[in-house]
């Protein structure tokens, strides 16, 4: 039986990145001229990446490159997608941000599943002093 507090629902890192992806999609449909919104989004996302993975994470570096549309090799974007977007740098940067956030989310969901499995395993030991 799980010993959890039903009134407490922990927010997982994957939830935060899912919310970032939703916000990214909304920004992608915004009118041109939303430069301040993009700058704020990028600052928040880089900070979330640092908090989650550390300052020296490859995700932090890859995200910085994605904001400049220069992360093709780091996010494994198919060549066909690279070519079709090569003339539209804002769209290319948007696609790279999205692809990187999807990669982060996928990694986090896998780690969280492993963690949940480890934490819900049965404890076959008796408490100390009950021998």
Kindly state the average pLDDT of the residues 64-93.
68
pLDDT at 22 over 90: yes
Distances (CA, A) of 8 to 4, 96, 122: 8, 35, 22
Give the per-residue pLDDT at 125: 64
Residues in the chain: 131
- Model confidence, pTM: 0.72
Give the per-residue pLDDT at 62: 94
For the chain, which residues make up each domain, given as ranges? 14-25+35-114
Q: Which of 97, 94, 107, 95 is nearest to 13 (CA)?
A: 107
pLDDT at 72 over 90: no
Contacts of 45 (CB under 8 A, 6+ apart): 20, 63, 97, 101
Q: pLDDT of 30-59, one tens digit each?
A: 766 678 899 999 999 999 999 999 999 999
């Amino acid at each position: 039986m799980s010993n959890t507090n039903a009134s407490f629902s922990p927010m997982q890192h994957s939830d935060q990145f899912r919310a970032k992806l939703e916000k990214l999609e909304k920004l992608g449909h915004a009118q041109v001229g939303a430069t301040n919104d993009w700058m704020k989004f990028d600052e928040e996302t880089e900070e979330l990446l640092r908090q989650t993975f550390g300052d020296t994470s490859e995700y932090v570096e890859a995200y910085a490159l994605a904001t400049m549309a220069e992360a093709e090799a780091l996010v494994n974007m198919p060549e066909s997608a690279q070519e079709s977007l090569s003339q539209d740098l804002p769209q290319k940067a948007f696609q790279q941000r999205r692809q990187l956030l999807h990669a982060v989310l996928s990694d986090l969901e896998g780690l969280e599943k492993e963690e949940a499995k480890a934490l819900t395993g049965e404890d076959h030991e008796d408490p100390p002093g009950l021998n």
